[in-house]
């Protein structure tokens, strides 16, 4: 029925100002490893590196916290990146054959990366456009000259073009065509009629007027630019790359046959036919090409020769290797993904006669970045403070822990350092720039569960996501493969001497090992890890290694129910006898669910020594102190056959699926006929309301949005017994005078089970067992899945975590006023009073917005104006990728933002909120996007790079791009996925709201008066045509109390709180 409500004219300026100080949406930083990297560059003066991706993103990294991001306007792959050392300029070449100039600009004291110019080569002069192939001018090599005023471009046609910097103007008179080179080449040096594409251009290290040009067919030319003459000729095999020796007296060339040659550059002869040295390192059998080679001098003796490729084609042609050779020492670094590029880190300026003495080798492969310490014997790896491969094994779940105590933090860091004794202690070599961001005020821990059964701990306090510790669970179970995480070096007899480096390993020995849910108590260092095969591990942090047996307990969730046969995977068999565990989290109890279905929900209460877990069959409660089960409840519907097939089963009931589809069609037809019955009184009222709505009314009368009709879900829908959420609370369940421990469980069919727990005091834990009594059973009539449950105290605040109050880390909850219970389903939010479970207020999200709830969290937001001003809110992520924020317990909408693309299903499913208004979600298998909902609590990169340009270009981008960001706008560039949203005071609402007036904003966000954020009168419980009246079964109250509660509920539901026109 259409409803009208008179509203108060005008807005509340105080609430508007408070909303402005509380909420601000921004996507701040991307954590992890860039997806699909395609190019790499290093600036030895600024000591920063750049990575380009196939999505057109350019990312600069320096010291931890120094990050700059840019995105090309064109969606094209970045094929090459080149710095102009020390000047803050970066050249990028895209696969559409365009060259782009990026500049590090300073705005408001911080550095930003902006694109200033782009350039494309024209066709060759004198050649018709119809006869000139576009590949002739396709750029293959880019070389910025050391003087910083010019860049050389080598092409597939063999020509070399010269372009000025920073204007990117072609110097046509300097262009070097292959014909001019061929005139100076004798016949015996010619490799056919053409030289082939330009494969490499290298500037002479001591004479900037000379450049070394290498053509693919084997000819190498030393060209003098001033006299436009060939100084020297070298002829080898099919060429792949070139490199100068630092003194300029020798060059090294790599070739397609897997070999490399060293040539002497003397001033006497113009032609050199024989190299000083020629070798195929991994011969004599045919080898793959050496795609890139470097020569670095070393004061200690033999130089470093570093190259990629060159593996024996038949035996190891599929290996991805970079070889490091110094004298007789050879290491073949074996990676698990394709090598993109590499560089060495050494001093920017090397005096004549000096040595380069490289400190480190940095290798970019498709799935990770690895740094090798070249100054420590054995060449160990250097742990990276950022760019960690989150997807070293596929992420299956994530969890965030805020305000981690310092003692626990130090213990986790300590056990993490003991895991990698072979890593180098050298500092991270890429340390340019200055991090201007303030030190994090609290320590944040991000936990990720992975497909191989590991849980990884990440430092998520600041801009850089740093790995701290890796926990493995596979060694507890019997599997086909041995689980040895140490990267053993190859044996002495093996050739080539392979050495596994990096941690990317996407292959899982057993899919049942996958981690599904994680829970961590930060005060007692206890953790629960639940997996795909129904395994629930209770673990505790230990600073010492241990050898002990793991207790195993089995919980039957079917409770001997007949007619159900599990058709899915088997359980994981635990290893017998004492097991060795290194320092870190060590398991004490393994709880095995039967049937062994994937765990869908888990929660831990360390103060009561209880862990609750749920699957698609039911939920259980386990006392891990006494190591015995307390409760098991089956939630299966009699028709829930799909729940018995498991996630790894391919068995589907086609007959049942068709039957359910026809049933839904029949229901929709019947309900449609009922709605079209024109003679019914309700239809006449609707027609009258529709006519009334079309008439122009006074401005103070507003019409509430038409609510969508939500059909109730069938009771026998598939997987209706899946347990979606579990929750512990100390609240009022039996009566209003006595509070005590309770456990709540919500299912896929809209059922909520509440249990009263008898938990003995800590002194009597060993004497008395925990008991659980079913208190209430609530059935949401729309049967939407229950996403989350929370209990609010008498002041409307969420209950504190275990041990928070006893350790004076949080205020004690209000136990004098009546508690409330907030139930979040996929379709609506509803607040009930306790212990009566009578409806108090609600917001029907699906009916109003047409979306469904995917993730919810209670967040505490601090005002930007005053840190003491805190407000608890409900943050909700929908299936459309929008984030809505509501006050609690009044459930009044505040703001909503477009966060994730609705097509990005995996990103929506991976989202996790923090307690202080931030969040993470996966934008690729290897990257988390971090966002903030708070105007105060924002984690974003603020850094500065000191550049020394040869000429002033501070206004270059403004003159070239008049529409680009000015200094008055936050100069935040789009990120790689194009989802960056600038953080500004006007950008607090969704784009669709930008055309509204302030009064319309208020009307859209506030369905009623806004005197108080905790007022519950804004969302009246109208029941006109409502199908969400709950059925509450009270198993603790007497029959008289139950009747009185039902009578009070009916009166509350029927009482109107606004002026309705029906």
Q: What is the average per-residue pLDDT within 337-348?
A: 94
**Residue 229 φ/ψ region, left for φ over 0, alpha for ψ in the -120 to 50 degree band, beta for the rest:** beta
Q: What pLDDT was estimated at residue 490?
A: 44
Q: What pLDDT was estimated at residue 992?
A: 39
Write down the residue that tokens 């365009």 correspond to. Answer: 98
Residue-wise pLDDT for 557-596, tens only, equals: 998 777 788 889 999 999 999 999 999 999 999 999 999 9
Q: What is the average per-residue pLDDT within 1007-1013?
A: 37
Supply the mean pLDDT for the chain: 83
Q: Give the residue, 210 or 640, on which the prediction is more confident.
A: 210
> Please, what is the Cα angle at 34 between 31 and 35, to 5 degrees?
125
Q: What is the average per-residue pLDDT within 41-56?
A: 96
Percentage above 90 pLDDT, the chain = 60
Q: Please, which pLDDT band fits residue 433 given cuts at 50, 70 and 90? A: very high
Neighbours of 97 (CB within 10 A): 17
Write down the residue that tokens 């969420």 correspond to. Answer: 798
| Lowest mean pLDDT, pick from 551-555, 564-568, 595-599, 681-685 | 681-685
Residue-wise pLDDT for 456-496, tens only, equals: 999 999 999 999 999 999 999 998 655 444 444 444 567 88
Q: Please, which pLDDT band fits residue 206 given cuts at 50, 70 and 90? A: confident
**Residues 6+ positions from 762 with CB-CB distance below 8 Å:** none
Q: What pLDDT was estimated at residue 212?
A: 95
| Lowest mean pLDDT, pick from 9-18, 100-109, 905-914 | 9-18
Q: What is the average per-residue pLDDT within 124-136?
A: 49
Q: Please, which pLDDT band fits residue 661 given cuts at 50, 70 and 90? A: low
**940, pLDDT greater than 50:** yes
Q: Please, which pLDDT band fits residue 422 given cuts at 50, 70 and 90? A: confident
Peptide bond before 730: cis, by omega within 30 degrees of 0? no
Percentage above 70 pLDDT, the chain = 78
Q: What gap in Å lies between CA 154 and CA 198, rounded to an integer?
A: 5
Residue-wise pLDDT for 212-231, tens only, equals: 999 999 999 999 998 898 88
Q: What pLDDT was estimated at residue 1021?
A: 46
**Residues 6+ positions from 881 with CB-CB distance below 8 Å:** 898, 899, 900, 901, 902, 904, 907, 908
Q: What gap in Å lies between CA 970 and CA 982, rounded to an integer?
A: 7
Q: What pLDDT was estimated at residue 1037?
A: 62
| Lowest mean pLDDT, pick from 3-7, 800-804, 865-869 | 3-7
Provide the token pair at 576: 């017998």
Q: What pLDDT was estimated at residue 493?
A: 60
Provide the token pair at 91: 């050249």
Q: What is the average per-residue pLDDT within 957-978?
A: 38
Partners of 112 in the β-ladder: 105
> Please, what is the Cα angle at 913 between 805 and 635, to 5 degrees?
85
Neighbours of 313 (CB within 10 A): 16
**Residues 6+ positions from 1030 with CB-CB distance below 8 Å:** 778, 779, 780, 781, 830, 832, 837, 839
Residue-wise pLDDT for 228-245, tens only, equals: 988 888 888 899 999 999
**694, pLDDT greater than 80:** no
Peptide bond before 835: cis, by omega within 30 degrees of 0? yes
Measured CA to CA in angstroms, residue 218 lies from 176, 228, 236, 749 at distances of 18, 21, 5, 71
Q: What pLDDT was estimated at residue 640?
A: 65
Q: What gap in Å lies between CA 581 and CA 548, rounded to an integer?
A: 8
Contact 397, 517 (CB under 8 A): yes
Provide the token pair at 66: 């120094």
To the question of pTM greater than 0.75 for the whole model, the response is yes
Write down the residue that tokens 């784009």 correspond to. Answer: 991
**747, pLDDT greater than 70:** yes
Q: What gap in Å lies between CA 669 and CA 657, rounded to an integer?
A: 19
**842, pLDDT greater than 50:** yes
Q: What gap in Å lies between CA 12 and CA 204, rounded to an integer?
A: 71
Strand 751-758, strand 740-747: pairing? antiparallel
Q: What gap in Å lies between CA 657 and CA 278, rounded to an integer?
A: 69
Q: What gap in Å lies between CA 791 and CA 588, rounded to an integer?
A: 31
Provide the token pair at 59: 């990312």
Q: What pLDDT was estimated at residue 300?
A: 83
Provide the token pair at 200: 């490499």
Provide the token pair at 628: 């015995």
């Amino acid at each position: 029925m259409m409803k009208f409500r008179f509203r108060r004219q005008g807005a509340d300026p105080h609430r508007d100002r408070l909303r402005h100080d509380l909420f601000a949406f921004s996507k701040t930083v991307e954590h992890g490893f860039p997806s699909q990297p395609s190019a790499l560059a290093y600036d030895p003066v600024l000591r920063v590196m750049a990575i380009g991706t196939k999505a057109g993103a350019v990312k600069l990294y320096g010291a931890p916290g120094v990050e700059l991001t840019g995105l090309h306007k064109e969606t094209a792959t970045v094929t090459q990146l080149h710095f102009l050392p020390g000047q803050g300029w970066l050249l990028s070449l895209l696969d559409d054959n365009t060259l782009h100039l990026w500049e590090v600009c300073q705005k408001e004291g911080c550095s930003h990366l902006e694109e200033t110019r782009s350039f494309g080569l024209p066709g060759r002069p004198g050649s018709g456009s119809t006869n000139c192939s576009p590949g002739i001018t396709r750029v293959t090599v880019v070389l910025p000259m050391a003087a910083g005023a010019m860049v050389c471009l080598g092409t597939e046609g063999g020509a070399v073009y010269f372009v000025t910097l920073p204007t990117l103007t072609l110097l046509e008179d300097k262009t070097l065509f292959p014909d001019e080179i061929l005139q100076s080449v004798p016949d015996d040096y010619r490799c056919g009629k053409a030289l082939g594409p330009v494969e490499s251009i290298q500037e002479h290290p001591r004479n900037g007027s000379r450049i070394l040009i290498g053509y693919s067919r084997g000819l190498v030319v030393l060209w003098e630019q001033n006299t436009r003459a060939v100084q020297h000729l070298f002829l080898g095999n099919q060429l792949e790359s070139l490199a100068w020796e630092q003194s300029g007296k020798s060059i090294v060339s790599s070739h397609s046959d897997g070999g490399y040659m060293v040539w002497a550059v003397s001033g006497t002869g113009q032609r050199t036919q024989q190299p000083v040295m020629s070798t195929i390192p991994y011969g004599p059998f045919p080898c793959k090409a050496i795609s890139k080679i470097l020569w670095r001098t070393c004061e200690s003796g033999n130089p470093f020769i570093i190259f990629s490729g060159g593996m024996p084609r038949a035996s190891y042609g599929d290996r991805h290797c970079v070889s490091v050779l110094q004298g007789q020492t050879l290491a073949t670094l074996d990676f698990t993904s394709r090598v993109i590029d590499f560089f060495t880190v050494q001093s920017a300026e090397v005096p004549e006669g000096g040595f380069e003495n490289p400190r480190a080798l940095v290798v970019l492969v498709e799935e990770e970045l690895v740094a090798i310490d070249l100054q420590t014997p054995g060449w160990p790896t250097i742990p990276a403070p950022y760019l960690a491969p989150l997807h070293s094994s596929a992420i299956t779940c994530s969890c965030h822990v805020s305000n981690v105590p310092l003692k626990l933090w130090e213990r986790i860091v300590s056990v993490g350092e003991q895991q990698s004794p072979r890593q180098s202690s050298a500092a991270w070599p890429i340390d340019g720039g200055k991090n201007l961001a303030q030190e994090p005020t609290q320590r944040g821990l991000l936990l990720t569960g992975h497909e191989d059964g590991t849980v990884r701990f990440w430092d998520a306090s600041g801009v850089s996501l740093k790995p701290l510790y890796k926990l493995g669970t596979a060694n507890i179970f019997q599997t086909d493969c041995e689980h040895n995480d140490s990267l053993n070096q190859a044996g002495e007899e093996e050739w080539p001497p392979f050495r596994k480096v990096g941690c990317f390993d996407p292959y899982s020995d057993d899919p049942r090992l996958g981690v599904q849910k994680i829970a961590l108590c930060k005060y007692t260092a206890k953790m629960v890890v639940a997996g795909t095969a129904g395994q629930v591990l209770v673990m505790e942090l230990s600073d010492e290694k241990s050898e002990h047996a793991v207790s195993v307990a089995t919980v039957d969730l079917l409770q001997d129910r007949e007619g159900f046969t599990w058709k899915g995977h088997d359980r994981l068999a635990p290893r017998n006898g004492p097991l060795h565990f290194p320092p870190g989290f060590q398991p004490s109890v393994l709880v095995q669910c039967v049937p062994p279905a994937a765990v869908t929900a888990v929660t831990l209460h360390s103060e009561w020594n209880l862990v609750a877990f749920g699957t698609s069959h039911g939920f259980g409660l386990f006392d891990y102190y006494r190591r015995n089960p307390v409760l098991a409840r089956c939630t299966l519907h009699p028709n829930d056959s799909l729940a018995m097939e498991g996630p790894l089963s391919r068995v589907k009931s086609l007959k049942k699926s068709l039957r359910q589809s026809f049933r839904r069609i029949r229901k929709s037809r019947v309900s449609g006929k009922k709605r079209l019955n024109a003679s019914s009184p309700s239809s006449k009222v609707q027609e009258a309301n529709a006519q009334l709505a079309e008439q122009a009314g006074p401005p103070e009368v507003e019409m509430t949005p038409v609510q969508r009709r939500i059909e109730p879900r069938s009771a026998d829908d598939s997987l209706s017994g899946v347990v979606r959420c579990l929750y512990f609370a100390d609240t009022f369940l039996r009566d209003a005078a006595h509070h005590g421990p309770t456990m709540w469980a919500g299912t896929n069919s809209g059922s909520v089970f509440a249990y009263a727990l008898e938990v003995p005091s800590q002194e009597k834990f060993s004497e008395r067992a925990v008991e659980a009594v079913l208190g209430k059973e609530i059935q949401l009539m729309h049967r939407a899945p229950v996403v989350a449950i929370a209990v609010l105290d008498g002041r409307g605040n969420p209950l504190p975590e275990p041990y928070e109050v006893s350790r004076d880390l949080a205020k004690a909850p209000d136990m004098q006023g009546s508690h409330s219970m907030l139930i979040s389903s996929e379709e609506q939010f509803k607040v009930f009073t306790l212990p009566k479970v009578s409806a108090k207020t609600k917001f029907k999200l699906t009916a109003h917005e047409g979306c469904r709830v995917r993730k919810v969290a209670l967040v505490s937001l601090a005002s930007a104006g005053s840190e003491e001003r805190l407000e608890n809110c409900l943050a909700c992520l929908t299936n459309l990728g929008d984030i809505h924020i509501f006050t609690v317990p009044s459930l009044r909408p505040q703001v909503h933002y477009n966060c994730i693309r609705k097509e990005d299903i995996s990103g929506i499913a991976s989202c996790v909120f923090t307690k202080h208004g931030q969040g993470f979600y996966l934008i690729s298998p290897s990257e988390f996007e971090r966002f903030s909902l708070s105007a105060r609590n924002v984690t974003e990169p603020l850094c500065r790079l000191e550049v020394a340009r040869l000429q002033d270009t501070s206004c270059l981008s403004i003159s070239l791009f008049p529409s680009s960001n000015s200094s008055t706008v936050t100069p935040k560039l789009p990120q790689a996925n194009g989802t960056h949203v600038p953080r500004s005071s006007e950008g607090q609402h969704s784009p669709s709201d930008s055309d509204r007036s302030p009064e319309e904003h208020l009307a859209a966000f506030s369905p009623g008066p806004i005197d108080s954020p905790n007022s519950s009168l804004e969302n009246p419980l109208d029941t006109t045509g409502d199908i969400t009246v709950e059925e509450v079964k009270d198993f603790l109250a007497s029959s008289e109390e139950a009747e009185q509660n039902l009578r009070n509920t009916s009166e509350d539901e029927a009482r109107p709180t606004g002026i309705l026109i029906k």
